[in-house]
Structure 1
């Protein structure tokens, strides 16, 4: 099981490289958390304290997910020897779907590159 520093690096740092599987699974994890919080919000009676709690939790998760998705995208692009600035494509409607699929399917560099020695490790 990874220690907390590895999880912090994976979701919040921009250095290093991340492989296709780790990128996909981390993104899926973030989407599941958002979906769960949205689901809980929709079940709560409108205007109740529970509704306000789940709404707030959802928006906090969205903010954290935006940062995390950028960090994951940058590291995935680094694995493919591309500059991280291209991660902005993950926020352009329609193009974001294509960009996500490309980042999930295209392999990274097999050996070291200028962004790190190996995938799934901080540089």
Structure 2
């Protein structure tokens, strides 16, 4: 008996924090930018409200904690979204390892952002807009 393929889940929580299923190009591009915006807004907000604005954020104890938390959170989001995007194209999620290599990371970003995914169901689930394999 075949295992039922999971339907496409476009919820924010699933796309940004889950590791199963697929992610189409639109969701990838839109939700890939969200962690970057979150990080930038948090740093600017901290800098504006800092008790001593002349001290760089990474030199204050609370700034170190805030930056570490934000870096861990955004890294988790990048990996989750990237893994699902690789699965949409039936690539190994190991493809994301190349995104840390200088110059090759530009190629990886272009492939993930512009290459279309598998048009029908694949071993990771159904494509966007499909609710069954029929």
Same fold, TM exceeding 0.5?
yes
Per the normalisation by structure 1, the TM-score is 0.78
Q: Secondary structure at the match of 2:21?
A: coil
Q: Do the aligned residues in 1 keep the contact of 2:120 with 2:126 (CA within 8 Å)?
A: yes
Number of equivalences: 115
Work out which of the two has the higher radius of gyration on C-alpha atoms and give 1 or 2: 2
Matches within 5 A, 1:9-24: 9-24=14-29
Q: Do the aligned residues in 2 keep the contact of 1:18 with 1:120 (CA within 8 Å)?
A: no
Q: Do the aligned residues in 1 keep the contact of 2:24 with 2:127 (CA within 8 Å)?
A: no
Q: Secondary structure at the match of 2:123?
A: coil
Larger relative helix fraction: 1
Q: Distance in 1 between matches of 2:69 and 2:129?
A: 26
* Deviation at residue 18 of structure 1 after TM alignment: 0.2
Provide the residue aligned with 2:41 in structure 1: 36
5+ long unaligned stretches in structure 2:
1-9
CA RMSD of aligned residues (A): 2.5
5+ long unaligned stretches in structure 1:
none
- Does residue 70 of structure 1 match 2:75? no
Q: Distance in 1 between matches of 2:38 and 2:75?
A: 13
